[in-house]
């Protein structure tokens, strides 16, 4: 059911000072000192409250049916080159179901989770098997996959079965408007690509090389970054659109790609990869590349403190779509994961988006009065604010408004705007990160972009 998309994302203006035209900064600082003090006090109170939360790990049992249970399925990366995203995404779904049940479930029906492995794009049989299992057992919603290519592997099967899919992390532009049963709580790559391209331009770099894998996510994001750089007067020197320089996902050695990229005399290199990054970075270092002129995106803007010698990535930058969730939410997310798995989270990427995907699906079921997936699909956009409802930020508060007959606009920790007619967020945030001396990404600023009409 693929259809052509005509929407485009507003460009991010070059330079932090110019972001206000298409984007508005989303920082934690306040111009009002007393307001800032109040927020700090409230945050401390919330964190203390989060520590005392009672969490439940509500896994679906054999025989649970969508006729009387809200079943939150998941096809998430338990293995493969995106496995580092698995824990925060699983925690997002699990915490949401815990909160749903704490508020009385969905019209009195309990909620549960059934999380299965997505694997990665090097072995599509993993996600195929997981999708088939969820189709057989039934699901009110399927949260996942993290990889756009993996989602494209099974989205048609879920659509044919009329099962609503909500990805917390897919960003490929090819998925905009792909299916009536496919939604996402992460923005398409237009906004991230524009943000990264303009970050590179504002840093004074004009000639850019790409080390990119042959994947819907990688090539789609490369195309947007390249277009943005060229629009700012720059040029692509290697790995450009149409040149055929992409490497296959899962490749393990990169001396030829890195040599070709460096020999093209770029000012900056953009690495678009997943776990392959752990082999690409040492090759860049060994060939003498200045790592502070290296850029990453959400697929590899990760904590490499245990992988590389201290200082290896210091000064390099990357982008991750999504708002920087509050510390209270992060504490609750980690608290749930600890209660369920006996360990805390070290990464929070797409945890908020996974939480919101699950809460929105449950609110859609509540609004429609049933827990089957067709009901979720029919009401998903409405509860996100597409019908100009009253704002509410928790499941409990939102169902109270629904009980009063109100339309609602759920505003969750991911910070996305209402779902549009292509089942994308109409607005979203992108975080810009810089790697410190420990090779860990540190948030430097967050910008919000709106999808163009």
Q: Over the stretch 232-259, which tens digit does the pLDDT of each residue have?
A: 999 999 999 999 999 997 899 999 999 9
Q: What does each C-alpha distance from 436 to 129, 140, 307, 315 come to in angstroms?
A: 40, 42, 14, 7
Distance CA 130, CA 133 (A): 5
* Structure tokens that stand for 389 in this block: 């409802």
Three-point CA angle 178, 157, 77, nearest 5°: 85
Q: Over the stretch 68-88, which tens digit does the pLDDT of each residue have?
A: 999 999 999 999 989 999 999
Q: Over the stretch 307-346, which tens digit does the pLDDT of each residue have?
A: 999 999 999 999 998 888 999 999 999 999 999 999 999 9
Fold matches, 55-187+325-422 and 190-321+432-450? yes
- How do beta strands 182-184 and 165-167 pair? parallel
Closest CA to 395 of 6, 97, 54, 112: 97
Q: Over the stretch 45-64, which tens digit does the pLDDT of each residue have?
A: 344 344 458 999 999 999 99
Helix (H) or strand (E) holding 390: strand 390-392
Mean pLDDT of the chain: 89
Closest CA to 141 of 330, 360, 427: 360
Q: Over the stretch 208-223, which tens digit does the pLDDT of each residue have?
A: 999 999 988 899 999 9
- CATH class for domain 55-187+325-422? alpha beta
Q: What is the three-class DSSP state of 35?
A: helix
The pLDDT of residue 187 is above 90 = no
Any idea where the domains of the chain sit in the sequence?
Answer: 55-187+325-422, 190-321+432-450
DSSP 384: B
pLDDT (average), residues 385-405? 98
pTM of the model: 0.78
pLDDT for residue 451: 60
Q: What percentage of the chain has pLDDT greater than the value 70?
A: 88
Closest CA to 316 of 203, 158, 183, 153: 203
Per CATH, which fold does 190-321+432-450 belong to?
Rossmann fold (3.40.50)
User: For 66-121, where are the E strands, in sequence order?
Assistant: 70-76, 111-117
The pLDDT of residue 112 is above 90 = yes
Closest CA to 320 of 168, 452, 180, 204: 168
pLDDT for residue 9: 34
pLDDT for residue 409: 98
DSSP secondary structure of 173-209: GGGTTS-TTEEESS--HHHHHHHHHHHHHHTT--EEE
pLDDT (average), residues 143-168? 97
Q: What does each C-alpha distance from 378 to 75, 277, 381, 449 come to in angstroms?
A: 22, 40, 8, 26
pLDDT for residue 52: 52
pLDDT for residue 322: 84
> pLDDT confidence of 34, banded at 50, 70, 90?
very low
pLDDT for residue 11: 32
pLDDT (average), residues 108-131? 97
DSSP 87: H
pLDDT for residue 311: 98
Distance CA 287, CA 282 (A): 9
Q: What is the three-class DSSP state of 269?
A: strand
Give phi and psi for 142, each to the nearest 5: -115, 120
Under a CB-based contact definition with an 8 Å cutoff, are residues 376 and 180 in contact? no
- Pick from 6-10, 119-123, 337-341, 439-443: least confident: 6-10
pLDDT for residue 164: 98
């Amino acid at each position: 059911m693929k259809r052509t998309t005509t929407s485009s994302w507003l460009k991010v203006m070059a330079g932090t000072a110019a972001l206000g035209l298409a984007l508005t900064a989303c920082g934690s600082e306040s111009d009002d000192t007393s307001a800032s003090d109040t927020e700090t006090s409230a945050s401390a109170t919330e964190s203390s409250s989060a520590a005392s939360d009672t969490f439940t790990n509500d896994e679906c049992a054999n025989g649970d049916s969508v006729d009387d249970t809200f079943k939150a399925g998941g096809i998430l990366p338990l293995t493969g080159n995106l496995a580092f995203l698995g824990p925060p995404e699983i925690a997002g779904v699990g915490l949401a179901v815990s909160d749903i049940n704490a508020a009385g479930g969905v019209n009195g029906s309990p909620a549960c989770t059934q999380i299965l492995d997505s694997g990665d794009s090097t072995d599509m049989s993993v996600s195929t098997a997981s999708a088939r299992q969820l189709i057989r057992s039934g699901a009110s919603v399927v949260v996942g996959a993290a990889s756009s290519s993996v989602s494209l592997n099974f989205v048609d099967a879920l659509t044919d079965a009329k099962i609503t899919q909500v990805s917390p992390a897919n960003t490929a532009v090819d998925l905009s408007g792909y299916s009536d049963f496919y939604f996402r709580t992460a923005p398409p790559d237009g906004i991230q690509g524009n943000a990264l391209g303009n970050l590179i331009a504002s840093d004074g770099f004009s000639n850019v090389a790409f080390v990119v894998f042959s994947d819907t996510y990688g090539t789609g994001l490369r195309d947007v970054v390249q277009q943005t750089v060229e629009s700012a007067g720059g040029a692509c020197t290697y790995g450009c659109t149409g040149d055929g320089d992409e490497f296959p996902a899962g490749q393990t050695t990169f001396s030829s790609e890195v040599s070709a990229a460096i020999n093209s005399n770029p000012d900056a290199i953009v690495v678009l990869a997943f776990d392959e990054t752990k082999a690409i970075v040492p090759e860049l270092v060994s060939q003498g590349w200045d790592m502070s002129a290296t850029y990453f995106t959400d697929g590899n803007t990760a904590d490499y403190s245990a992988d590389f010698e201290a200082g290896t990535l210091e000064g390099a930058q990357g982008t991750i779509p999504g708002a920087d969730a509050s510390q209270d939410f992060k504490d609750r997310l980690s608290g749930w994961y600890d209660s369920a798995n006996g360990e805390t989270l070290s990464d929070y990427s797409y945890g908020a988006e996974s939480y919101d995907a699950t809460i929105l699906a449950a609110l859609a079921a509540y609004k429609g009065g049933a827990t089957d997936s067709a009901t979720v699909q029919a009401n998903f956009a409405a509860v996100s604010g597409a019908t100009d409802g009253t704002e509410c930020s928790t499941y409990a508060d939102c169902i109270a408004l629904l009980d009063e007959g109100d339309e609602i606009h759920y505003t969750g920790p991911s910070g996305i705007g209402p779902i549009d007619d292509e089942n994308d967020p109409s607005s979203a945030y992108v975080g810009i990160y810089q790697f410190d001396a420990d090779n860990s990404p540190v948030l430097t600023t967050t910008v919000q972009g709106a999808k163009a009409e």
